Structure 1
Amino acid sequence: MTLGTIAIVGVSLAGFRAAEALRGQGYSGRLVLIGQEPHFPPIDRPPMSKQLLSGEYPVERARLSSVTDLGVDTLLLLPDVATGLNLDERQIHLRSGGDVQFDSLLIATGAAARPFPGRGGDLDGVLTLRTIEDSQALHEQLTPPCRLVVIGAGFIGTEIAATAKSLGINVTVVEASAHPLERGGGRIVGEYVRDIHAHHGVDMRLQSFVRSIDGDGRVESVTLDDGTVLPADVVVVAIGSLPNTEWLEDSGLPVDDGIVCGANLLVADTPFIAGAGDVARWYNPLFGCSMRVEHWTNAVEQAAAAATSLLAGPRAAPSHSSVPYVWSDQYGAKLQLIGITTGDFVLLERGPADAPLMVGAFIERDRVVGGVCINRPAAVSKLRRLVLRGGTRSDVEGVTAVPTAIRG
């Protein structure tokens, strides 16, 4: 199948898998891959806050494996950055000064770590974690008696805290919400994760705001809104991310917390452009709403779906329905979240913090829309099936045990 030149902007997980999907689905034309990271195949991101950060994995072990030959008619422009897009001319402007001509385009530029908005974010020792270079830089500094302050208790923040604690580091986590993982898992899950970290000796400062990061050239402390001063040798800012859409600002494409895609992942009414991965906000028919999902499984699934839509065209491109899924490994416990984690929470099983175990379901208008499992992998597939078929509150009783309804 030949459709001229397909350009993929962003060569991390979604972009790389999209290239493989295009070849696997029969596309034999010219393929141009543009990405700011020099590694190819790219480095897988989940180990960056865990095995790579701890030193357990060498870099090569975390490199994504190639399951498809991309062929000789594939041009790699690495490292380089797209700085603009001319739709009329079908050109991508590059930081290096050149232009790339394309017939079809797949946008997979991902997201960047949100920088600290206050004073002190530019001090030495203040880091974010998004690339392998970030992970290596942080690893080099996590040597006892280092004092680490993590700003943000989402997935990245809590994983960094758990990894650092396993290395014998003194760890304090500062979080503005009342619970860690509150956005991703809600109150009950957040309280449980808080207890697990407390059991391992992490000092978690919840409902706290950072007033400033302080030091003379290099970070020395973090000052909270109540005046508390936390000594710090290293600070990691883990307060979320921003989709990489700056290069699309003057393109005429719809951008709203990501590149806006239809249910088939094609962008607006433009049949030759698709989006995938962290940068894509698409209409998910399963839940009847638009969402942007920043998780590994979503990037892989959307890469294949976007490739299919580009090759099929808008009339034949299928809708992409998906159950969001994310996992996190902390202190040997595997936390898995599926679907939408809002509404009523039905707790099915919970163990003590020193032997983590949890199963629960999220219910909206009597429909199962999500679930959480900690060290209960068999329950994950059962909850996912309930989400897919629109199971009800009464159906969750068969997942593992008799439930107890909790709102939160």
Structure 2
Amino acid sequence: MAEPHRIVVVGTGLAGASAAGSLRERGFAGDIALIGRDRHRPYELPALSKAVLLGEADEPDWVHEADFYDGIDLVTATSVTELDLGGRAVVDETGARHPYDRLVLATGSTPRTLPVPGADLDGLHTLRTLDDSLALRAAFGDGVRVVVVGAGWIGCEVAAAARGHGSRVTVIEPEPLPLHRTLGPVVGEVFRDLHAEHGVTWRLGTGVTEFVGTDRVTGVRLADGSTVDADVVVVGVGATPNTALAEAAGLELADTGGVAVDASLRTSAPDVYAIGDIAAHFHPRHGTRVRVEHWANAKDQGATVAASLLGEAEPYTANPYFFSDQYDLGLEVRGLFDPLTDDLVVRGDLAERSFIAFWLRAGRVRGALNVNQWDDGDALQALVDRQAEVDEGTLRSGELG
């Protein structure tokens, strides 16, 4: 496979910018174009719901210093509207054509909204971009009534940040507990109690039927008929992968969502690859397609696709990894597991919020969560990567590695 002369990356988030950086690190001296909708140069997302939203930083973690892009055609604030696979070019909203020898799709995802009356009122926010984070931070304040819809990772981190600004926070979640489908009921109770102790009001087991207001939101009406007063509403109910370009171009999509790619992140079209939130890649460790929307996945797939673009065809084998900070609680999650069906084993003290949780399937470690414990990260990663068969007694109190 001959080395390409020009590589185009659609998407200027962490995945796309990591691909560009890895190409340069591997010695690729050809042309690289990065094209994306965001007006800023590429940045990482975690700080948007953490340090930036808390007011501890005014800037995110930039993927590269500004001068890195001196040798790259960085096109910001511009949407790509068409993939001309036959003509080996992408077309942007201005009509300009960007030819490629190889193409990387890193188009990310878009926050979901709720299809209920009042969804277009002022005062409703989602959180995806730096501008979103700065606008939301400006809306927080002492005594401001903030309603967060959704108690996943974004919802929980937003709630913690809003409380840090002195806002009065209510979180609405149809599931019985926060993070219920992500960490299961036992660990979900830990997060429910954590936020309650910091003054968050929970409205669990009910959904939203309407956002109330004339021009600006003043409340959120729930399925049980009650209304929660609001000055600011944050909708954190997940994200949808941006696959419209790929679908219009005829690329194969995965049944579970995303663009279908092989273990080396190649799509169904020659010389076209997909990474990050949109990539539903065949995972060699798990023998199935996996699509992950977390920071580590975007960063690491950028490095892997660079090798594939240059003909080395490395399989992407990393297990999902995620971290979060909420108040004085820090955590890391590793692996691919189902907390509602896999067996839970806890090491440490849930009440003290200093513990490790393991999820086992057929006696093998499929996932691990460390909360306020930082000494065993490498050992946990090894257990998850090997899907190690370990007896429960060892997991609760023995040597981990």
Q: TM-score range by the shorter chain?
A: over 0.9
Q: Give the structure 2 partner of residue 165 of structure 1.
A: 163
Which runs of 5 or more structure 1 residues have no equivalent in the other structure? Answer: 404-408
Q: Give the structure 2 partner of residue 56 of structure 1.
A: 56
CA distance 1:53–1:280, change in 2 (3 Å):
same
Which runs of 5 or more structure 2 residues have no equivalent in the other structure? Answer: none
Deviation at 1:348, TM superposition (A): 1.5
> Does 2:283 correspond to 1:284?
yes
1:28-39 pair list within 5 angstroms: 28-39=29-40
Please tell me whether the aligned partners of residues 368 and 390 of structure 1 are also in contact (alpha carbons under 8 angstroms): yes
Deviation at 1:235, TM superposition (A): 0.3
Matches of 1:64 and 1:263, distance apart in 2:
25
Matches of 2:114 and 2:29, distance apart in 1:
44
Matched AA of 2:304: A
Please tell me whether the aligned partners of residues 3 and 310 of structure 2 are also in contact (alpha carbons under 8 angstroms): no
TM-score, normalized by length of structure 2? 0.94
Which 4+ residue blocks in structure 1 deviate beyond 4 angstroms?
A: 67-71
Deviation at 1:389, TM superposition (A): 1.8
Please tell me whether the aligned partners of residues 348 and 359 of structure 1 are also in contact (alpha carbons under 8 angstroms): yes
CA distance 1:26–1:67, change in 2 (3 Å):
farther
Matches of 2:234 and 2:115, distance apart in 1:
13
Deviation at 1:372, TM superposition (A): 0.9
Matched AA of 1:8: V
Matches of 1:306 and 1:187, distance apart in 2:
37
1:315-360, CA deviations, whole angstroms, 9 ceiling, x for partnerless residues? x5121111111010001211211102321111122242xx421211
Deviation at 1:68, TM superposition (A): 9.3
> What SS is found at the alignment partner of 2:128?
coil
> Does 2:1 correspond to 1:4?
no
Q: Give the structure 2 partner of residue 406 of structure 1.
A: none
1:215-254, CA deviations, whole angstroms, 9 ceiling, x for partnerless residues? 0100000000010110000000000000111122220101
Deviation at 1:183, TM superposition (A): 2.4
Please tell me whether the aligned partners of residues 23 and 68 of structure 1 are also in contact (alpha carbons under 8 angstroms): no
RMSD value over aligned CA atoms?
Answer: 1.8
Q: Give the structure 1 partner of residue 349 of structure 2.
A: 350
Deviation at 1:380, TM superposition (A): 2.9
Matches of 2:172 and 2:94, distance apart in 1:
39
Please tell me whether the aligned partners of residues 185 and 337 of structure 1 are also in contact (alpha carbons under 8 angstroms): no
Matches of 2:130 and 2:66, distance apart in 1:
22
Q: Give the structure 2 partner of residue 321 of structure 1.
A: 317
Q: Give the structure 2 partner of residue 337 of structure 1.
A: 333
Deviation at 1:400, TM superposition (A): 5.6
Matches of 1:136 and 1:68, distance apart in 2:
24
Bigger mean CA offset, 112-121 vs 156-165: 112-121
Identity %: 37
Q: Give the structure 1 partner of residue 145 of structure 2.
A: 147
Deviation at 1:71, TM superposition (A): 5.5
> What SS is found at the alignment partner of 1:208?
coil
Matched AA of 2:19: A
Please tell me whether the aligned partners of residues 174 and 206 of structure 2 are also in contact (alpha carbons under 8 angstroms): yes
1:377-406, CA deviations, whole angstroms, 9 ceiling, x for partnerless residues? 223322211111221141x54456279xxx
Matches of 1:134 and 1:302, distance apart in 2:
25
Deviation at 1:62, TM superposition (A): 3.2
TM-score, normalized by length of structure 1? 0.92
Matches of 2:141 and 2:69, distance apart in 1:
41
Matches of 1:67 and 1:284, distance apart in 2:
34
The count of corresponding residues between Structure 1 and Structure 2 is 393
Bigger mean CA offset, 379-388 vs 237-246: 379-388
Q: Give the structure 2 partner of residue 390 of structure 1.
A: 387
1:24-65, CA deviations, whole angstroms, 9 ceiling, x for partnerless residues? 11211111110111212x232111112111211022x63333
Matched AA of 2:179: L
Q: Give the structure 1 partner of residue 211 of structure 2.
A: 213
1:156-201, CA deviations, whole angstroms, 9 ceiling, x for partnerless residues? 0000001111111110001111221122212222111111111111
